[in-house]
Amino acid sequence: MYVTIPVLYLGLLIVSGIESTDCWNGWGLVAELRMLVSAQEEFRRTDADRNGIQDYWRRDVAGLYTMVLDGRPLKFITLTAARADPRSIVPPPDGRRPYYGWWIEAIGFADEKTPDPRRFAYCAWPEDSNTSEWVFVVSHQGEVFAKRFDRPETLKVFPADPRAEGWRTTDRLRKDRWRSRNPLWWVRFWDAL
């Protein structure tokens, strides 16, 4: 009897480690939002707009691809990401379309009247609210946050305090998704913490 419980737990531990891959297209979007942060850092570091100020590009998402310098587009981001901007100033080649089901838009901050060139933010929301209810945001600080909405929508401003307003980090979201998809999550409870 005393040997059975540890053996049973060990068996459950092994089985709980066998899980399917989370192929949700939201993870690709999270990677793309992180790439946007990297592109903004490159834009700022190189003074890509040649205005003599190390600032971020605030007008739209697509500009990090479509801005023309020396007769060639900037291409700091992928064309796929540039096309996902529904309000781009300069339409990207071949028009606008979602990034694997997601729109990505530049947003502002509640405390600014004009765009502050020392910071930036993006919001991504699903093209079809029936496929996902998650909305993602990222700012110049580089941390991607997600929040579930009954009816996903684009935000106009970055949350003042994402954690206090119920936004989850993507690490927390990954753990919550793992827990919801794995009925034996409690065997490896430390992975869900």
pLDDT at res. 14? 56
SS3 157: strand
**Residue range 129-143, pLDDT digits in tens:** 776 788 999 999 999
Whether this prediction's pTM lies above 0.75 is answered by yes
Q: Are 163 and 170 in contact (CB under 8 A)?
A: no
Q: Are 168 and 176 in contact (CB under 8 A)?
A: yes
pLDDT at res. 142? 95
Q: Are 9 and 180 in contact (CB under 8 A)?
A: no
pLDDT at res. 159? 95
SS3 13: helix
Tallying the residues shown for the chain, one arrives at 193
pLDDT at res. 124? 94
Q: How confident is the model at residue 149 (pLDDT cuts 50, 70, 90)?
A: confident
Q: Which amino acid is at 8?
A: L
Q: How confident is the model at residue 48 (pLDDT cuts 50, 70, 90)?
A: very high
Q: Are 132 and 106 in contact (CB under 8 A)?
A: no
Query: In this model, does residue 13 exceed pLDDT 50?
Result: no
The mean pLDDT value for 153-167 works out to 91
